[in-house]
Structure 1
Amino acid sequence: MRSELYIDGRWTAPAQGETLPVVNPATEEVFHHIPAATEADAEAAVRAARRAFDEGPWPRMTGAERAKILRAMAEGIRARLPELARLEVMDNGKPLPEAEWDLADAAGCFDFYAGLAEELDGEVEPIPLADGRFTSKAVREPVGVAAAIVPWNYPLLMASWKVAPALAAGCTMVLKPAEATSLTALELGAIAEEAGLPPGVLNILSGKGSVVGQALVDHPQVDKVAFTGSGPVGSRIMASAARDIKRISLELGGKSPFVVFGDSDLDRAVEWIMFGIFWNQGQVCSATSRVLVERSLYDRLLGRLVEEAEKIRIGDGLQPGTLLGPLVNKVQYDNVLSHIDRAVEQGAKLATGGKAQGFNHGYFVAPTVLTDAPLDSDAWREEIFGPVVCLRPFDTEEEAIRLANDSRFGLAAAVMSGDDVRAERVAAAFRAGIVWINCSQPTFTEAPWGGYKQSGIGRELGRWGLDNYLETKQITRLVSDEPWGWYIK
């Protein structure tokens, strides 16, 4: 496990020598310390990235040359997948199979963007002009130095969603992982180094967001900020970035609805509801935490959901068979339990769960199903980011759509129905950037990811993710010998 920062191709002690403890959320034990970067470390990392962009080879390489290194990084992740997965279980808490799945996706992300890097070679879009004296074309170039600030729920995967397209575009980057889950992000520095990434192209700073994250957002030599996290922090980043008119992309919170019609298969509906809210302990920005069920199916579905939720095996993510691990840390644990208590105080009924799991240690919360949460309650309107789902019945399609869209968020939404025409109609009516039909949460590197309203700005993944790190340049050429006729006689 790394105990230094990665700056300009070198492993470096933090400027003030401070560290942060790494706590295993299943045992509450401190098992490692990571370096706590300071403003001085952020300055050094940005300068290294700036120099690598302005003077180094990376932006000037062909896309095929960059692709070769990106694929080597993908292979580096795969070669160390068992080790990296265990690290993510130890600092994040998720079950080992989930961590392995995430890391396989992270490697695939680097492979995917390697392919898009190759496609950038020779990419020129001719622009037809009405004036035949000129020709014009559009080309795309890297935006410059990017700062990526990523969350703790998918540590290396979320880093890959930003690092891979940025590097494919020819940008240089400073990566700031979440302070609770920095272990695999730091290891990415070693993987990049082994893959042959030039010094300064990728710099990795662990530390407190309020210190090093803010320093990156404020730095005048950072051209682009990519952030995944909470709405309030995203709002502050927008305000800070506005001073220098920095390019920004924000992937923020959600309170996603799942509409289930009465003609749905009960077993499939329950399975997808559970996956939509209990996967990763519910610590998913797109979690379908508001479930609207047609009244004819409501009682049966609620009963089955409670029955199946109570069967979920909870425990240390390294224990075989664990399906639900601990929440990431004490702060999140206390926050989720507080949300549940407040939901009951505001009128919601507890169908199951609602308490800490009965272990002597660890930040475990039982799968929780709430009913009858008032429409103006925090449980129905606010992101809880834990294994907590709210159910309520509806009578008409129009009512379901209205309730689903009645949110300041618009990240994701899901609909389940045996009627394909109705499912498509409801999907079109959702005000959300990601819509699932007869499922919830499947995510693919090839498809765009991002939300409407207060769920963010821009899209990650697919070609849209690459666009985040590219500028478009118009180049117009005079091809006629005719005099322009304004000044020259």
Structure 2
Amino acid sequence: MPTRTPVEGQLYIGGKWRGQELDKIKVYNPATGELVGEVPKAGAKETAEAIEAAHQAFESWSSLTAHERSAYLEQYYQQIMVHKEELARLITLEMGKPQPEAQGEVVYAADFIKWFAEEGKRIYGRTIPSHLPHKRMQVWKQPVGVVAAITPWNFPAAMLTRKLGPALAAGCTMVIKPSGETPLTAVKLMELAEKSDIPAGVLNLVTGPSSVIAQEIMTNPKVRKVTFTGSTEVGKKLIEQSAGQVKKLSLELGGHAPIIVLDDADLDQAVDGVIASKFRNTGQTCVCANRIYVQAGIYDTFVERLAEKTKQLKVGNGFETGVQIGPLINREAYEKVEKHVQDAVAKGAQVVAGGFGFTREKAYFYQPTVLRDVHHGMLVMKEETFGPVAPVQKVDTEEEAVQLANDTPYGLAAYLFTQNVARGIKVAEKLDYGIVGWNDGVPSAVQAPFGGMKESGMGREGGYEGIEAFLETKYVAIGL
């Protein structure tokens, strides 16, 4: 299969493709180091023009009926599904995700469009019983306005549509800034939006330096809301920058997900759940299992089974048949994984699977790794690894497991495995996380809210809550 994509990225502003005259950002395949495309290097000027285009389109788009907006989104969903193979290929080219996972991401991404095409028809206000006979009291729901979305590299399609679907369904218009590591998927999604006849200015795309584009977004008063997925460090900066205009924010930030495996768990189910959570996308997801706590009575057996299955995972180029673990996104990611493993071994951890990586020119792979005998003094138990490393710590009681699980400033996702319903309910209630997978390593779904507690963000995406984030609540008192 050829490695170079035919897509040549451009800015999409006000329904026109622009940016050919600008300097370019090169996009490389992380599995081979080969150049796969280029996109324009937009700056403050182009970003301001995209915001203005969205602002100009807002009145007409928000004035459409929910059914009319739904029809556009249904067309968009169909276009994505027709082109799902091409989108999946782009994801693997620029991000490295194995093709089966990339194809699954495209379907997941399309499902957000379809879900919110319907959910937009169910934006309800209400009538409040008045305390006076000559007064009527109503609550209306109206779109926020122009929304800016800043999306990450690890799910270049799904993280975009998870924001785009509810925003457009609610009546908002958008400016999208994708990751510089993976902009080609976003460009293709804009092409498909154009094919779906979504009106000019409703969707706009700018590619370029994050700091420059974000500065214009955060200081431009025409942007009423910013939705961001990325690191907690950047999220905190956006909170600070939003203060001047009290700009609305939705933030899906870092995670440090624990998995608790209690002694009455179904071991096969638990091992499969850990592998599904930990090694999906090469461990490069914000809800990946990062710390695994297993009760002492089943610890040795669990570690043995986990190591055995982990050793069977195939590493390589995402286009190769049977590959389940693709490359890490870049050198910095590889060095962090290597540092975590080396630190753990130096402090007494034992490698029972993997424990090494290999590199090619601009391509970085790490063998899926299982560490036993870890403790909280190790970096791997303190920091989000964002790579294919599964550290397993022995615990005596469920109370100890919960205490260790909650001992972090993050609170995005947590997992537990137990066959005892009463026990599972008690543990799930005590976990300070926005998402809990109980006997489920992959809990994310378009119809369910996704988001975290503590320093893992604010707001929710997906489900009914996902569209609420793009609405204002207006109370109207009517005197008769």
TM-score using structure 1 length: 0.94
CA apart distance, 1:103:
0.4
Q: 5+ residue gaps in structure 2? A: 1-6
The AA in structure 1 aligned to 2:18 is: T
- Structure 1 gaps, min length 5: 480-489
Secondary structure at 1:31's aligned position in 2? strand
Report the equivalent of 2:4.
none
User: Which residue is 1:9 aligned to?
Assistant: 15
Q: Which residue of 1 aligns with 2:128?
A: 127
Give, in angstroms, the shift of residue 358 of structure 1: 7.0
Q: 1:208–1:358: structure 2 CA closer, same or farther, 3 Å change rule? A: closer
2:34 is matched by which residue type in structure 1?
E
CA drift of 1:354 comes to 2.4
Equivalent runs, 1:309-388 vs 2, <5 Å: 309-357=310-358, 362-388=363-389
Deviates more, 1:69-78 or 1:201-210: 201-210
- Mapped pair 1:41 → 2:46: yes
Structure 1 residue 109: Cα displacement = 0.8
- Secondary structure of 1:289's counterpart equals strand
Task: Give 1:269-288 correspondences, 5 Å limit.
Answer: 269-288=270-289
User: Quick one: distance in 2 between partners of 1:462 and 1:324?
Assistant: 30
Which structure has the greater CA radius of gyration? Answer: 1
Q: Helix, strand or coil for the counterpart of 2:449? A: coil
Q: 1:219 to 1:371 in 2, by over 3 A?
A: farther
Secondary structure of 2:218 counterpart: helix
Matched with 1:98 is 101
After superposition, where does 1:129-278 map in structure 2 within 5 Å? 129-278=130-279
**Preserved contact between residue 412 and residue 432 of structure 1 (Cα < 8 Å):** yes
Q: What is the CA deviation profile of residues 7-31 of structure 1, one whole-angstrom value per residue up to 9, with x for unaligned ones?
A: 00000016x6111111101101112
Using the TM superposition, give the Cα deviation of residue 106 of structure 1 relative to its aligned residue in structure 2, in angstroms. Answer: 1.1
Residues 237-293 of structure 1, C-alpha deviation per residue, up to 9 Å, x if partnerless? 100011110000100011111110112222221111111100100001011111110
Residue equivalent to 1:482: none
Q: Distance in 2 between matches of 1:215 and 1:308?
A: 48
Distance 1:390 1:283 in 2: 15
Counterpart residue identity of residue 278, structure 1? F
1:346: how far off? 4.4
Letter in 1 for 2:15: G
Alpha-carbon offset, residue 307 of structure 1: 1.5
| TM-aligned CA deviation for residue 330 of structure 1 | 2.4
Q: How does 1:443-458 map to 2 (within 5 A)?
A: 443-458=444-459
Kindly indicate whether the alpha-carbon contact (under 8 Å) linking 2:32 and 2:360 is maintained by their aligned counterparts in 1.
no
2:357 partner SS: coil
The whole-number CA distance in structure 2 between the counterparts of 1:43 and 1:227 is 18
Q: Output the CA distance in 2 between the equivalents of 1:358 and 1:236.
A: 33
- Contact 1:147 / 1:217 at 8 angstroms: preserved in 2? no
**Are the aligned partners of 1:409 and 1:453 in contact in 2 as well (CA < 8 Å)?**
yes
The one-letter amino acid of 1:50's match is H
Partner SS, residue 272 of structure 1: helix
Identity of aligned residues (%): 39
CA deviations 1:375-397 (Å, max 9, x no partner) are 14321011111111211111112
Moved over 6 A (4+): 358-361
- Residue of structure 2 in register with 1:21 after alignment: 26
Work out the number of aligned pairs and report it.
474
Corresponding position of 1:60: 63
1:25, 1:329 within 8 Å by CA — same for their partners in 2? yes
Counterpart among 79, 87, 92 of residue 84 in structure 1: 87
Partner AA of 1:212 in structure 2:
I
Contact 1:459/1:465 (8 A) holds in 2: yes
Q: Deviations over 1:100-127 (max 9, x none)?
A: 011011111101000011223xx33001
Say whether the 8 Å CA contact 2:33–2:361 is kept in structure 1.
no
